[in-house]
Amino acid sequence: KKKLKITGRELLSVPMQVFGLDQLQVLEMSPERESCLRYRMELLPQEIGHLRNLTCLYVDSNNLKKIPAEIGTLSRLERLTLSNNSLSSLPAEMGALQRLHSLHLANNSLTELPAPLCQLRSLTFLDVSDNKIGSIPSSIRHLEKLETLLLLFNSLESLPEDVCLLRNLHTLWLGNNHLRSLPAAFGELVNLDWGYNYCSCNFEGNPLESPPPEVCSRGPEGIRVYFSSLRRI
């Protein structure tokens, strides 16, 4: 089998027989999103490294407290979902997942954006919403292919200038942080959609009154329209 889904409200661990399925490509151990369930698995075994052909690993909505270093041996992994767990850190070995393009980490207990994530050059989607992240490392500039970055409900007080180097960003959600200012070069993120009906950049819930003049002078007209509407809320 190349795809396996393991379900059960009482799921506590991965059956060891799974790690003998060396041709497995997709492994899912998460409840259905609409079910609002949460499984009870606290540990992803180090034997996960035996599944060298995995391209997708879904383990969101469990109770994971730690990810083993062996995750870094899954060189073919393209999609990893770890949202809704109890993770406070990630192993440095995750930086070896150079085919990974989608990473979900929302609703954990991360206090910083782990440095290994900034080594994932193929990453196009990163969701670290609803954590306790207080700063973004300047090394984020290495994520040159990143198109979607979700950072809602964190503790950010500022953005580094290096965020403005992510020229492929189409969606940047920063709502419900503590942002008071924006980098002067923010307007150079020209692929963000500042349209009237849909805005791919979100600032609601921040003590941010207006962008610096440099933003409005470099960015599109939609930036001024957006911040004018924000002040009226």
pLDDT digits (tens, 9 = 90+) for 94-132: 999 999 999 999 999 999 998 889 999 999 999 999 999
Write the CB contacts of 89 (distance below 8 Å, at least 6 apart in sequence).
Answer: 66, 110, 114
Residue where a domain stops, chosen among 77, 92, 123: 77
Pairwise CA distance, residues 53 & 42, whole Å: 24
Pairwise CA distance, residues 198 & 13, whole Å: 42
Length of the chain as a residue count: 233
Share of the chain above pLDDT 90, in %: 64
Q: Residue range 126-139: average pLDDT?
A: 95
89 found inside a domain? no
* In a shared domain, residues 127 and 176: yes
Pairwise CA distance, residues 73 & 95, whole Å: 10
98 found inside a domain? no
Pairwise CA distance, residues 56 & 81, whole Å: 8
87 found inside a domain? no
Per-residue model confidence (pLDDT) at position 210: 62
64 found inside a domain? yes
Residue where a domain stops, chosen among 52, 77, 102: 77
39 found inside a domain? yes
> pTM to 2 decimals?
0.89
Q: Look-up: residue for tokens 């790690």?
A: 19
Model confidence at 223: pLDDT above 90? no
* In a shared domain, residues 24 and 136: no
* In a shared domain, residues 163 and 215: yes
* In a shared domain, residues 31 and 73: yes
Backbone angles phi, psi at 5, to 5 degrees: -120, 125
* In a shared domain, residues 224 and 120: yes
Range in 43-52, 167-176, 189-198 with the lowest mean pLDDT: 189-198
Domain count, the chain: 2
Please give the torsion angle defined by the CA atoms of residues 148, 155, 96 and 38, in that order, rounded to the nearest 10 degrees: -80
Show the tokens assigned to 203. 């600032």
CA angle 121, 98, 150 (to 5 degrees): 55
84 found inside a domain? no
CATH code: domain of residue 198: 3.80.10.10
179 found inside a domain? yes
Q: Look-up: residue for tokens 């403005």?
A: 164
Contact (Cβ atoms closer than 8 angstroms) between residue 51 and residue 77: no
Pairwise CA distance, residues 53 & 77, whole Å: 8
Per-residue model confidence (pLDDT) at position 37: 78
85 found inside a domain? no
* In a shared domain, residues 116 and 72: no
* In a shared domain, residues 19 and 131: no
* Segments forming the whole domain that contains residue 150: 110-232
* In a shared domain, residues 72 and 115: no
Cross-strand partners of 149: 126, 172
* In a shared domain, residues 126 and 215: yes
Q: How confident is the model at residue 185 (pLDDT cuts 50, 70, 90)?
A: confident
* In a shared domain, residues 184 and 131: yes
